[in-house]
């Protein structure tokens, strides 16, 4: 029955777009095209859209999503999911704030907070590894717990009044007159470039694709899958903590209300960027473009004065479109 | 000459259940040593002990005369013992080279991968075994057969001195089997010791230098294929000979149940005509790719056909979907139970009644639980599925029992015609006998049974008549008790 398949299994080398480029390249290319088209349309109506100050606003508004998406990308590549980031993010803003108010030196406060984020990630991995619970449930439980904890430790009101020097993390930057390029943008850029490069070229980091693509085969190849997932969720937790520290500095305050629905925005961006929830596919470049696209949509709607309820409709439609495109490409290629 | 790999008096029990008892086994450099036995005979356990998945209770494993003690397959591979497991262990969305060298990629001191080197290494490996596969292609774009070959390439890339293959041909077409065998010959030349585990005795006799037979955890004997035959080996495996393997033929009525006339769907098949009588087992023989499955699926309404007709009890059918076929009383037992036949994560009970839920629902569409339980218990008993616990998930059953469950599922739809496509693929001899008996029982109850099989002895042993397919058309219809294998083969290939 499958003889036909065998015959055509590789006789068509290099015919057409579909064969020449990988699925990943095609998806990222299509997303980049969508971004350019969208930007041009908005720009024609609102000339301020692509001005440097406005671009800076877009980046700063979505900096937490962009940083957290780095970890989420790897989590999703391993066929997992991490909802707890939306709890870790305000949690770490609060923790770093409380430590600073208690008089801890700034570097120490930041290090402890990042370690706390990683520790919560380790709990996620522990639950899903040990009890064979799907990470969706494990991280959902942790998210709910953290939301409660965040209110309990703050009493529901924001923590504020941090030392002046802490402002350097998320408030200060290079002044270009019309806009302020914050140092935190460089933190994100450095992390994105580093993680993107390692995920492409580093032996250890690449294992995430094998784990997501076929967990059994990864195990057969000698990968300690459980231990690797500790690494992945700890990284995701630590990156959420990085975002939390930055936002605490940016607003000079920490509130349990930070990060509402953040996990969904991040997952949406990562999936629009070509990651496969079934695992085995995804890239930092794609995820960053996904975040950029969502940032642009939110920004454009805010600018246009159209009801902002429409922005979610557009983001949802875009998510659907990118998933459908991925499926169509996959099928076309299989034939 | 010391064997490359030697097992001395290995024993293993799980709880009170003795799986292996003082089994000794050896394989020399450049030798293909086949290991045969029914499922449960201990082949997998023996292999798991060698590869370190299980710890033996007693005995010794020697590699080149030195005692070794691997603790997992990865470590065994480092030592030079590579196992190619039955289930493919490749990642479809990664390239061929990435799959082969996962965790062993050539890297810089920082761990960054040298991609060109990686692909060159893969190319060199393929050259060594004389095949042409692109290292940069995604594994998922290759057929299962070629993936199997990639899997073998991966196994020997560990500088394997011993290569153990578990049912390597179960998913391969004839031409792919030939390709695999030429690779095995090449590896033999290079001095690799090969352990070949298979149910297909024909292939075993073709490729093996020695054949060891396991039964109930004990080594029954070692035979030289050039002085032996299938009958003798089967006798050693099960304690009975080929003659007893197939149920006695039944009495076929003259009443035509299913009539296929001029069925065509170029280029897959053209002008297919045959008839099936009540109480008859009609065998369909032919090579893989001759159009047998395609015709079966067309009759079942799963695929379209462009010309011709199918009549059931004289009435012309125009089936648009499998659902309509089941309603009319035609059921199809698929050749790939895992992909198309069973709901693996669900219970045996759910699976057994899944084709006939209409019979087990009331006017409001609610399930009649008591009737479902009764039906599933009845089916389990009738088909002798083990263990007799219908709330077990399908994944926990052996291949043979999964296949019997699939048969039970088809039967719960009360069919008039059953089309069984490769009904015994990948099941052991004991389960095979039971499935054959079940098919014959059905025929004796007046059902028309069509059996499609790539195993000639099965088609001949089971069928009242045999239709031979060749390249999409019927090349012969053979009747009678004494159809010779050679005749069928001639019609299938010439």
For B35-89, the pLDDT digits (tens) are 988 766 788 888 889 988 888 899 999 999 999 998 888 888 889 999 887 667 7
DSSP-assigned letters across all residues of B271-337: EEEEEEETT-EEEEE--TTSSHHHHHHHHTTSS--SEEEEEETTEEE---SHHHHHHHTEEEE-S-I
User: Do residues B390 and B347 make contact, with C-beta atoms less than 8 angstroms apart?
Assistant: yes
**Which of A5, A22, A132, A214 to substitute to test the interface with B, most B CBs within 10 Å?**
A214
DSSP-assigned letters across all residues of A248-283: HHHHTEE-TTTTTTHHHHHHHHHHHTT--TTSS---
| pLDDT tens digits for range A35-92 | 999 999 999 999 999 999 999 999 999 999 999 999 999 999 999 999 999 999 999 9
User: Do residues A228 and A78 make contact, with C-beta atoms less than 8 angstroms apart?
Assistant: yes
User: What's the pLDDT band for A152 if we cut at 50, 70, 90?
Assistant: very high
Q: Is the pTM of this model over 0.80?
A: no
DSSP-assigned letters across all residues of A297-323: HHHHHHHH-S-THHHHHHHHHHHHHHH
Contacts with B137 from chain A: Cβ below 8 Å: 10
pLDDT for position A6: 37
The Cα–Cα gap between B469 and B283 comes to 11
Residues 6+ apart with CB under 8 A from A182: A60, A170, A171, A172, A173, A250
User: Do residues A61 and A55 make contact, with C-beta atoms less than 8 angstroms apart?
Assistant: no
The Cα–Cα gap between B416 and B420 comes to 13
* DSSP H/E element including B256: strand B256-265
| pLDDT tens digits for range A157-214 | 999 999 999 999 999 999 998 899 999 999 999 999 999 999 988 889 999 998 998 8
ipTM: 0.73
Weakest mean pLDDT among B3-7, B258-262, B416-420, B481-485: B481-485
The residue among B413 and A18 whose pLDDT is bigger is B413
* Per-residue pLDDT at B179 exceeds 50: yes
Residues 6+ apart with CB under 8 A from A94: A150, A153, A154, A159, A244, A248, A254, A255, A256
Q: How many CA atoms lie within 13 A of B317 on its CB side?
A: 28
The Cα–Cα gap between A258 and A243 comes to 11
Contacts with B91 from chain A: Cβ below 8 Å: 209-210, 213-214, 217-218, 280
Give, in order, the Cα–Cα distances in Å from A39 to each of A58, A287, A308, A323.
13, 18, 18, 21
User: Do residues B420 and B333 make contact, with C-beta atoms less than 8 angstroms apart?
Assistant: yes
User: Do residues B59 and B7 make contact, with C-beta atoms less than 8 angstroms apart?
Assistant: yes
| pLDDT tens digits for range A238-262 | 999 999 999 999 999 999 999 999 9
* DSSP H/E element including B23: strand B17-27
Interface of A with B in 152-171 (CB under 8 A): none
* Per-residue pLDDT at A215 exceeds 90: no
User: Do residues A275 and A73 make contact, with C-beta atoms less than 8 angstroms apart?
Assistant: yes
Alpha helices, DSSP H, located in B412-482: 429-444, 456-462
User: What's the pLDDT band for A10 if we cut at 50, 70, 90?
Assistant: very low
pLDDT for position B337: 66
Interface of A with B in 10-39 (CB under 8 A): 10, 13, 22
* DSSP H/E element including A169: helix A167-170
CB pairs under 8 A between A and B: 99
| pLDDT tens digits for range B307-362 | 999 999 999 998 888 888 888 889 888 776 665 567 777 888 888 887 777 778 88
The minimum CA-CA distance between B379 and chain A, rounded to whole Å, is 30
Residue B302 near chain A (CB below 8 Å): no
Contacts with A209 from chain B: Cβ below 8 Å: 91, 93-94
| pLDDT tens digits for range B186-209 | 999 999 999 999 877 888 899 999
User: What's the pLDDT band for A5 if we cut at 50, 70, 90?
Assistant: very low
* DSSP H/E element including B163: strand B162-166
Rounding to the nearest 10 degrees, give the CA dihedral for residues B269, B275, B281, B283: -30
User: Do residues A30 and A325 make contact, with C-beta atoms less than 8 angstroms apart?
Assistant: yes
The Cα–Cα gap between B487 and B479 comes to 12
The Cα–Cα gap between A65 and A58 comes to 11
The residue among A325 and B241 whose pLDDT is bigger is A325
Strand partners, A308: none
């Amino acid at each position: 029955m499958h003889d036909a398949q065998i015959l055509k299994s590789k006789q068509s080398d290099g015919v057409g777009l579909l064969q020449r480029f990988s699925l990943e390249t095609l998806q990222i290319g299509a997303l980049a095209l969508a971004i350019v088209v969208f930007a041009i349309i908005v720009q024609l109506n609102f000339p301020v859209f692509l001005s440097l100050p406005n671009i800076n606003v877009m980046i700063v508004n979505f900096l937490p999503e962009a940083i957290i998406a780095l970890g989420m990308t790897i989590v999703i590549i391993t066929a997992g999911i991490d909802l707890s980031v939306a709890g870790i993010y305000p949690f770490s803003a609060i923790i770093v704030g409380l430590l600073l108010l208690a008089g801890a030196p700034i570097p120490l406060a930041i290090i402890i907070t990042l370690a706390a984020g990683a520790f919560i990630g380790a709990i996620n991995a522990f639950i899903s590894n040990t009890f064979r619970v799907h990470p969706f449930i494990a991280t959902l439980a942790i998210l709910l717990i953290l939301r409660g904890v965040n209110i309990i430790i703050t009493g529901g009101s924001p923590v504020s009044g941090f030392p002046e020097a802490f402002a350097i993390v998320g408030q200060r930057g290079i002044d270009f007159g019309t806009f302020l390029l914050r140092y935190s943008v460089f933190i994100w850029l450095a992390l994105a470039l580093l993680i993107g490069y390692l995920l492409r070229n580093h032996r250890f980091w690449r294992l995430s694709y094998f784990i997501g693509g076929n967990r059994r085969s990864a195990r057969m190849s000698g990968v300690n899958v459980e231990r690797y997932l500790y690494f992945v969720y700890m990284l995701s937790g630590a990156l959420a903590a990085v975002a939390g520290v930055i936002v605490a500095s940016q607003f000079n305050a920490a509130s349990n209300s930070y990060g509402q629905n953040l996990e969904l925005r991040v997952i949406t961006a990562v999936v629009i960027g070509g990651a496969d929830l079934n695992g085995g596919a995804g890239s930092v470049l794609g995820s960053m473009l996904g975040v950029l696209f969502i940032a642009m949509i939110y920004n454009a709607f805010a600018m246009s004065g159209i009801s902002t309820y429409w922005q979610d409709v557009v983001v949802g439609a875009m998510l659907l479109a990118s998933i459908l495109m991925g499926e169509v490409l996959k099928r076309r290629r299989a034939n | 000459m010391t064997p490359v790999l030697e097992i001395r008096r290995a024993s293993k029990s799980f709880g009170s259940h003795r799986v292996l008892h003082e089994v000794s086994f050896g394989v020399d450099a450049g030798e293909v040593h086949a290991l045969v036995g029914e499922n449960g005979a201990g082949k997998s356990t023996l292999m798991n002990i060698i590869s370190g998945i299980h710890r033996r209770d007693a005995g010794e494993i020697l590699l080149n005369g030195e005692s070794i003690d691997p603790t997992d397959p990865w470590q065994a591979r480092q030592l030079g013992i590579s196992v190619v497991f039955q289930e493919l262990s490749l990642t479809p969305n990664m390239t061929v080279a990435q799959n082969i060298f996962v965790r062993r990629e050539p890297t810089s001191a920082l761990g960054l991968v040298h991609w060109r080197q990686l692909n060159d290494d893969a190319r060199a490996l393929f050259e060594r075994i004389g095949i042409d596969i692109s290292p940069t292609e995604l594994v998922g774009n290759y057929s299962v057969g070629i993936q199997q070959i990639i899997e073998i390439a991966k196994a020997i890339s560990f500088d394997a001195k011993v290569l153990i293959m578990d049912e390597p041909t179960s998913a391969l077409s004839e031409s792919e089997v030939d390709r695999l065998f030429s690779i095995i010959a090449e590896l033999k030349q290079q001095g690799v010791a090969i352990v070949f585990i298979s149910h297909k005795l024909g292939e075993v006799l073709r490729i093996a230098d020695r054949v060891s037979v396991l039964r109930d955890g004990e080594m029954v004997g070692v035979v030289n294929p050039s002085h032996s035959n299938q009958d003798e080996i089967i006798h050693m495996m099960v304690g009975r000979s080929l003659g007893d393997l197939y149920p006695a033929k039944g009495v076929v009525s003259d009443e035509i149940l299913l009539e296929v006339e001029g069925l065509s769907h170029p280029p897959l098949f053209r002008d297919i005509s045959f008839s099936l009588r009540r109480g008859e087992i009609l065998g369909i023989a032919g090579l893989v790719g001759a159009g047998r499955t395609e015709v079966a699926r067309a009759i079942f309404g799963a695929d379209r056909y462009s010309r011709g007709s199918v009549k059931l009890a004289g009435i012309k059918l125009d089936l648009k979907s499998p659902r309509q076929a089941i309603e009319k009383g035609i059921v199809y037992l698929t050749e790939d139970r895992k992909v198309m036949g069973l709901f693996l994560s669900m219970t045996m009970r759910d699976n057994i009644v899944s084709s006939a839920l209409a019979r087990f629902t009331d006017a409001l569409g609610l399930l009649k639980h008591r009737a479902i339980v009764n039906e599933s218990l009845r089916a389990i008993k009738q088909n002798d599925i083990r263990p007799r616990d219908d709330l077990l998930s399908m994944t926990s059953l052996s291949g043979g029992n999964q296949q019997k469950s699939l048969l039970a599922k088809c039967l719960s739809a009360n069919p008039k015609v059953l089309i069984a496509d490769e009904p015994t693929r990948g099941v052991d001899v004991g389960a095979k006998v039971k499935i054959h008996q079940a098919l014959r029982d059905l025929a004796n109850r007046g059902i028309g049974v069509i059996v499609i099989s790539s195993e000639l002895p099965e088609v001949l042993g089971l069928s009242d008549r045999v239709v031979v397919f060749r390249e999409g058309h019927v090349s012969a219809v053979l009747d009678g008790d004494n159809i010779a294998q050679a005749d069928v083969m001639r019609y299938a290939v010439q």
